[in-house]
Amino acid sequence: MMHLHHASRRTLAVAALASAVLCVAGLFVAQLRGQQQPSEIELVISGEPGTPPRYAIPEFVAASPDAAEAAKTLAQVLWDDLNFEREFYLIPRDTYGSVRAARTADQIDFAGWRELGADGVVFGTVQKVGASFQVQVRLFNVRSRQAVFSKEYTGANVRLISHTASDEIHLQQRNLKGVARTKLAFSSDRNREKISGPVQNRDVKEIYIADYDGENVRRITTNRQLNITPAWSPDARAIAYTSYRRGYPDIFVALLYQGLQEEPTRGIGQNFLPVWSPDGTRLAFTTNRDGNPEIYVMNRDGSGLRRVTNNPAIDVTPTWSPSGTQIAFTSDRAGTPQIYIVGADGLNLRRITTTESYADRPTWSPAPFNEIAFAARTGPGFDIKVYDLASGQTRQITFGEGTNESPAFSPNGRHIAFTSTRAGRVQLFTLARDGKNVRQITRDGNNYTPAWSN
Amino acid sequence: MMFTLPGSHFSVRVRVQVRFVLRALALVALVLTMACAKKTPPVTTAPPPVSVPPAASAAPPAPPAPQRVDDALPVPAQPLAEDTVGGRSLDDLNRDSPLKPAFFPLDSSDLDSEGRAVVSANAELLKKYPTWMITVEGHCDERGTAEYNLALGERRAVVVKTYLASLGISPDRIRTVSYGKEFPFDPGHTEAAWSKNRRAHFVITSK
């Protein structure tokens, strides 16, 4: 504030800017005050010292029988979502029997919830209005018996309503960017179609997307060929991917909400494994146009082509640093596949993995972490490892359960999606960056090369 | 139009060659027939049984037995050796291809002596059928990662294309494509399966 007053004495332009900032800041403070009623201290629910807050999420109250199913789903999905970041301890839902159920907020059995050890309890209601649901979500501090979060939502997709509430509760209670509304893109043979062509018995693989928890699956490509390695644009409105629809690999961009396809490489050479720069303006990819696989960068419309690597060995599978100034990739220039980093201008090459026999598919974490996850050969198969650029240390986060490949970071950097054969066929899983909280995401067919949306 | 000219030129040349082969075969058949006719079979030319006259008899010699005149048995013309390869449809050819796959060691795009022998044999066939266009597919086993395998398969295909070119096959007839480990030929998880999946696979795309 002092700085702004001082600045306002200098020039008119700065004064205008400063007052605009002050105005926004003032609104923000007013909003905060509004939310913090009646007591600022109890806005954030805390747990017992040294333990995460314990939340209970009983079934939502359905205003009419046609909302009963939604009431169950809303509570179950919100429980799973709030459990995912492990910022809270979610009290198991089958232990709520001792607590008297409430039809209205003033009937909440706070004493019963306190006895169960809950620090926070969600009270939700749902009403069916036409084709959509009106949902109210309130989070109560069990000790103060006051609502610390209260919001109404409306929409046909109750899972999305719970995902939204979860993200907002994570933000308000833990100042954390949740991922409950993010999506996974992947390649799958779940349709069990065969490619028609001169060689028999080849599985069609198409690009699919699903919610981060594997629900709400949508098929994106329909060309009945081989479609692999999807990559989300940062605005999550487009997916670049490798398609063999012309008989050789080339890069296509699916505009999800327009149903259109773009071909930025326009059939020059064979091109694969596209990835978006963090600002969404460029794509890095692998191409054989020089006779062997090299990393190139182009603008998303195919212009501004620039070669990044120049080596007779294989250079493949690029990933951008969060700032967009560096690219990590796999190269076998030293005899085996290893991870390297190079400037997006092609300068300042350095090798990252030095003790692996085989390392591939680097994926650079978003901020605030500065890590590169990759698949490393650890025996007959692969495991996921994470290289910390600050310390130079590598940690392993899967341990030989099946073979584990193709890591992809969640947008908040706290989770990794990957493929594993631990459950039989090739399936998508997610796990936390410390290797805990493993969840199976897909169960149908074989599923490959995940990408996690913002 | 420019592209159809070399093709038709090739097919004219093939037809001329076929005609030449037919003539040569006919000539061979004729020579064989004559040879067979000359050395008349012993059965048919066996001297007639001679009745041995009593030693003291002065009877006139018996009239010579009538000479048998038999036609030489016609040798049926050999059916022309049918081209069991060139006559097949593309789908048939690719289902049980005369072009054999070359196999690779783990993590490697090196053609060993066995692989080179296979590619050489394929090159001979490609010389025999100079109109064939092919795609060499590079494949990998599941013991490599999906992403690197896309590049490794590419290199396997290119190694084979380069070797074919060194044997005199025009690179213009050869496309390469890598399928990484996306299309295993054997879905098993044993070395026997993996060794089948590390291959350069030949597909005839036109003939």
Euclidean distance between CA atoms A185 and A158, whole angstroms: 21
Q: Do B177 and A228 touch (CB under 8 A)?
A: no
Q: What is the mean pLDDT of residues A417-423?
A: 98
Q: What is the Cα gyration radius of chain B?
A: 31
Query: Residue B18's pLDDT is what?
Result: 54
pLDDT at B31 over 70: no
CA B191 to chain CA mean position, Å: 32
Query: Residue B44's pLDDT is what?
Result: 47
pLDDT at A3 over 50: no
Break chain B into its structural domains and give their ranges.
4-40, 90-206
Are B138 and B153 spatial neighbours (Cβ–Cβ below 8 Å)?
yes
Contacts A200 to B, Cβ<8 Å: 95
Contacts B141 to A, Cβ<8 Å: none
Shortest CA distance from A424: residue in chain B: B189
DSSP state of A196: -
pLDDT at A1 over 50: no
Contacts B107 to A, Cβ<8 Å: 336, 358
Supply the pTM of this predicted model: 0.82
Euclidean distance between CA atoms A338 and A243, whole angstroms: 26
Euclidean distance between CA atoms B58 and B39, whole angstroms: 37
Burial of A252 (0-12, 13-18, 19+ CB in 10 A): buried
How long, in residues, is chain B?
207
Among the partner residues B107, B146, B201, nearest to A405 by beta-carbon distance: B146
Q: Do A330 and B94 touch (CB under 8 A)?
A: no
Of the residues B150, B199, B203, B207, the best mutation for testing chain A's interface (the one with the most A CB atoms within 10 Å of its CB) is B150
Q: Which of A12-21, A65-74, A400-409, B27-36 has the lowest mean pLDDT?
A: A12-21
| Predicted confidence (pLDDT) per residue in A139-158, tens digit | 999 999 999 999 999 999 99
Shortest CA distance from B95: residue in chain A: A199
DSSP state of A65: G
Q: Do B145 and A293 touch (CB under 8 A)?
A: no
Q: Do A199 and B203 touch (CB under 8 A)?
A: yes
Residues 97-136 of B with CB under 8 A from A: 107, 135
Are A20 and A56 spatial neighbours (Cβ–Cβ below 8 Å)?
no
| Predicted confidence (pLDDT) per residue in A120-144, tens digit | 999 999 999 999 999 999 999 999 9
Burial of B134 (0-12, 13-18, 19+ CB in 10 A): buried
Number of neighbouring beta carbons within 10 Å of residue A90: 18
DSSP state of A292: S
Shortest CA distance from A293: residue in chain B: B151
Query: Residue B6's pLDDT is what?
Result: 43
pLDDT at B84 over 80: no
Q: Is B172 on the interface with A (CB under 8 A)?
A: no
Q: Is B143 on the interface with A (CB under 8 A)?
A: yes
Of A388, A416, A25, A442, the closest CA to residue A217 belongs to A442
Q: What number is the ipTM of this complex?
A: 0.89
pLDDT at A302 over 70: yes
Contacts A242 to B, Cβ<8 Å: 150
pLDDT at A280 over 80: yes
Q: What angle do CA A138, A140, A145 make, to 5 degrees?
A: 135
Contacts A193 to B, Cβ<8 Å: none
Q: Is B200 on the interface with A (CB under 8 A)?
A: no
Are A195 and A213 spatial neighbours (Cβ–Cβ below 8 Å)?
no
Shortest CA distance from A380: residue in chain B: B143
Strands A183-188 and A447-452: antiparallel
| Predicted confidence (pLDDT) per residue in A200-231, tens digit | 889 999 999 999 999 999 999 999 999 999 99
Give the confidence band of B20 by pLDDT, cuts at 50, 70, 90: low
Give the confidence band of A30 by pLDDT, cuts at 50, 70, 90: very low
Q: Do B145 and A249 touch (CB under 8 A)?
A: no
Q: Which amino acid, one-letter code, is at A319?
A: T
Give the confidence band of A25 by pLDDT, cuts at 50, 70, 90: very low
Query: Residue A109's pLDDT is what?
Result: 98
User: Which of the listed CATH numbers 3.30.1330.60, 3.40.50.300, 3.40.50.11540, 3.30.160.160 matches domain B90-206?
Assistant: 3.30.1330.60
Query: Residue B51's pLDDT is what?
Result: 52
Q: What is the mean pLDDT of residues A220-247?
A: 96
Q: Delineate the domains of chain A, giving CATH numbers in brackets.
A: 54-174 (3.40.50.10070), 183-452 (2.120.10.30)
Q: Do B145 and A202 touch (CB under 8 A)?
A: no
pLDDT at B25 over 70: no
Average pLDDT, chain A: 92
Q: Which of A19-23, A404-408, A414-418, B28-32 has the lowest mean pLDDT?
A: A19-23
Give the confidence band of A17 by pLDDT, cuts at 50, 70, 90: very low
Q: Do B146 and A228 touch (CB under 8 A)?
A: yes
Among the partner residues A198, A337, A382, nearest to B90 by beta-carbon distance: A198
Q: What is the mean pLDDT of residues A261-277?
A: 94
| Predicted confidence (pLDDT) per residue in B189-200, tens digit | 999 999 999 999
The residues with which A430 forms a beta bridge, in sequence order, are A417, A439
Give the confidence band of B58 by pLDDT, cuts at 50, 70, 90: low
Contacts B155 to A, Cβ<8 Å: 292-293, 314
pLDDT at A420 over 70: yes
Q: Do A273 and B150 touch (CB under 8 A)?
A: yes
Q: Is B150 on the interface with A (CB under 8 A)?
A: yes
Q: What is the mean pLDDT of residues A299-305?
A: 96
Query: Residue A197's pLDDT is what?
Result: 82
Query: Residue A15's pLDDT is what?
Result: 43
Q: Do A330 and B90 touch (CB under 8 A)?
A: no
Query: Residue B73's pLDDT is what?
Result: 67
Q: Is B186 on the interface with A (CB under 8 A)?
A: no
Q: Do B150 and A316 touch (CB under 8 A)?
A: yes
Provide the sign of the torsion angle of the four alpha carbons B16, B17, B18, B21, taken in this order. Answer: positive
Give kind and range of the element (H or E) at residue A239. Answer: strand A238-243
Q: What is the mean pLDDT of residues B176-194?
A: 96
Among the partner residues A249, A291, A360, nearest to B148 by beta-carbon distance: A360
Provide the sign of the torsion angle of the four alpha carbons A247, A253, A256, A257, taken in this order. Answer: negative
Q: How many CB pairs under 8 A join A and B?
A: 94
Q: Which of A87-96, A324-333, A336-345, B9-18 has the lowest mean pLDDT?
A: B9-18
Q: Is B148 on the interface with A (CB under 8 A)?
A: yes
Number of neighbouring beta carbons within 10 Å of residue B43: 7
